[in-house]
Structures are given as C-alpha cells and as structure tokens.
Structure 1
Amino acid sequence: MPISVKSILDSKGRAVVTVSADTTLMEAAAILAENRIGALVIGAVGGEVSGIFTERDVVKAVAKYGRQCLDQAVGDIMSFNIVRCSENSTVDEVMEMMTQRRFRHVPVEDDGKLSGIISIGDVVKAHIREIELEAEQIKAYIAG
C-alpha cells in the first residue's frame, strides 16, 4: 500500500513556519536559519496559502538586486503559483511532482486549509521506508 502524505505528517508533525507578506527578506532569512528549514509559507487570513518563500528565493533576490533587497518584503519576491498537495497524495505522486517541477517544498492542504508542509527529504525518507518494508515482506514470503 503506498505511503500517503498524511502518514508523513502524522510521523514528522504538522508544524509550519509562516510569515506575512510584509516580512523583510533579512527577517525571513533569519527565520529560515533559526528554524533550520528551507521554506516559509506566506499565510493569508483563514489559513490559506498565498505564497511560499524559499532559500532559493533569497539567493535569486540577492543575485538580481544586491544587498539592498534584504529590506524588501518577501511578498515582492515570493513564489505565487504554489503547487499544493493533499493529505491523500501518495509519496510517488509528490516525488514525481517535485522532480518534474524542480522544487523541494510542497504545502499540504486539507479542505482548503494549510495542514502541513513536506520537503523532498521527507518524501525520500518515506520512499526509502516503503522500499525497506517491501523488501521485508519479500524476505518473509520467501522464508515462510
């Protein structure tokens, strides 16, 4: 049975670090570093996701605008076209989505509300666990 995003969130937790769109890049970079994470969800009223801001966004902004961009709001830089998944999405579906679109973080929504975030690391770890379980089942079958 394929591993679902729900099972990943149940295991790792559902905490998501969110900031408002008026947070500066400098503040956002500090929050990323402090929490040892790669992405911040830009929240809207009611738990809806209005954007995502990643470490890649920091690098692109500094490369394009120089150090003065650190005083800009993340709302000016963040990604707006957010790809989301649901708790019912499978590890394989999310892995394929991340690979094709070349991103590393996906907000998870349940009934239109933010319920977590998963990273490529979470997906790879779950995929490895899925393969290990399959190997154990095959060994048990052969031995049995």
Structure 2
Amino acid sequence: MTVKAILEKKGHNVLTCGPNEKLSEAIRILTEHRIGALVITNGDHKIVGILSERDVVRVLAKEGAAALDIAVRSAMTPKVKICNENHTVNEVMEIMTKGRFRHLPVEKDGLLDGIVSIGDVVKRRIEDVEREAEEIRAYIATA
C-alpha cells in the first residue's frame, strides 16, 4: 500500500499557512479544523516548514502570551521531512517513528501535494491486516 492510495481515498487538500502569519492565526486554524499540524508554504506552494501542536506548546512555554503575536516562521519546524506518493505505508511509518512526529507532507514535483497523518497510516495498515486475515479465512474454508 502506498501514499498514493491513501491520498486517493482521503484527498489532496491540505490546510496551509504562510510563514509571516501571526501564530495566533495559525492556532485559530488548527483549533477550528481540529488538526494537529499546518504545512507552512510560500506563495507558490513550496513547503518551507511545518507547525505542529508541539511547536506551539514549545514557543508558548518559552515566550508566554507574547508568542501569539510572533510570526509563524519563528515557531515552525523549518526542516521538514517529506514523502512522495510512491512511499509505502511501512516506509512512512518508519519515517514518522524515527522522527517522532505524526504528520508527513507529501511532495510532488517540488510542491505540496497532500499530507498523511499517523492516523491515516494506522487506519490503512489495519485495513490491510483485516483484508489479509479474511483472505486467509476464505482460503482455509475452501481448502
């Protein structure tokens, strides 16, 4: 199973924010849409960072309420791990586990093409295991 299959099912839409937006606006988007991360892009949809809930907590702990007025670029993680549609579910799980993060932007031709979360990956993996178990049961029943 690949990232392409996940995106075909869930879609390619990704909520983004610009690096010059105020952190308070990014937090509003995260809260309003009940998501855990925003991909930070410049005007031409090139990925320049990612802002996760963990990034928000870190900067709030350091700066206090004044953090709400800083630019997203000061709070985001600028070195973003990415994947492409040909990565397998197992490869994506490994990247997320090693990096200790839950959101992985998908890039195509140098531009943002989607995002996969650990929830997407786990859901797909469970579906695969259930399908395999059913195939084994069917095979045993007909043998």
TM-score over 0.5 for the pair: yes
Unaligned stretches of 5+ residues in structure 1: none
State the shift of 1:45 in Å: 3.2
**Residue of structure 2 aligned with 1:74, choices 61, 72, 75:** 72
1:32-47 paired onto structure 2 within 5 Å: 32-47=30-45
SS in 1 for 2:39: strand
- 2:109 is matched with 111
> Once the two structures are superposed, what CA deviation does each residue of 1:78-105 show, in whole Å capped at 9, x if it has no partner?
0011000000101100001111110000
Aligned residues: 142
User: Which amino acid is 2:132 matched to?
Assistant: E
- 1:90 is matched with 88
SS in 1 for 2:28: helix
**Residue of structure 1 aligned with 2:127, choices 119, 126, 129:** 129
Spell out structure 1 runs of 4+ moving beyond 4 A. none
The CA distance in 1 between the partners of 2:30 and 2:91, in whole Å, is 27
State the shift of 1:44 in Å: 1.8
User: Which amino acid is 2:117 matched to?
Assistant: S
The CA distance in 2 between the partners of 1:105 and 1:51, in whole Å, is 12
**Two-structure CA RMSD over aligned residues (Å):** 0.8
> Once the two structures are superposed, what CA deviation does each residue of 1:46-72 show, in whole Å capped at 9, x if it has no partner?
221010011111100111111101100
The CA distance in 2 between the partners of 1:88 and 1:133, in whole Å, is 21
The CA distance in 1 between the partners of 2:64 and 2:18, in whole Å, is 23
State the shift of 1:136 in Å: 1.1
Unaligned stretches of 5+ residues in structure 2: none
- 2:47 is matched with 49
SS in 2 for 1:86: coil
- 2:58 is matched with 60
User: Which amino acid is 2:111 matched to?
Assistant: K
> Once the two structures are superposed, what CA deviation does each residue of 1:6-30 show, in whole Å capped at 9, x if it has no partner?
1111111111001110111111101
TM-score when normalising by structure 2: 0.96
User: Which amino acid is 1:129 matched to?
Assistant: E
